[in-house]
Amino acid sequence: MNKIYVITDGDYSDYHIVAVYDDKNLAEKVSKKIGADVEEYNLNPFSREDVDKKNIYFVRMDRDGNVPEIKIDNTGYRLENLNEAGFCMQGNMYMTVLANDEKHAIKIVNEKRVQIIAENKWKGK
């Protein structure tokens, strides 16, 4: 997946995009010169087929594979971390995934859960 690097500056109502680059090193050099930040984003994270046929699901799963929460997430809030696992204060893993339905979303997250446990990287309780 291609990445873009967005140079941003300011806070709150003054937050704004300064420039967008496809070269991370160039973006970092420019940001250092002007004292701004670099944010990294996936470029075109969804194919046309994905957008037409799939939904974005937020799934919370415990170490045993139980799913206390699953919902379609159309906010776009977690898209920058699509398919990356995180852990909440209750010790559950959570992920935002692109899936055909709830069953498919749970399967994707469960596969990641198994991998994390096998690698001894579970950060929850």
pLDDT digits (tens, 9 = 90+) for 24-35: 999 999 999 999
Write down the domain spans for the chain: 3-42, 48-118
HEC-encoded secondary structure of the chain: CCEEEEEEECCHHHCEEEEEECCHHHHHHHHHHHCCEEEEEECCCCCHHHHHHCEEEEEEECCCCCCCEEEECCCCCCHHHCCCCEECCCCCEEEEEEECCHHHHHHHHHHHHHHHHHCCCCCCC
Q: Is the pLDDT of residue 79 over 90?
A: no
| Predicted local distance difference test score (pLDDT) of residue 78 | 67
Q: What is the pLDDT of residue 1?
A: 60
Residue 125 has pLDDT above 70, yes or no: no
For 4-60, write each residue's pLDDT tens digit.
999 999 999 999 999 999 999 999 999 999 999 999 988 887 777 777 888 999 999
pLDDT the model gives residue 6: 96
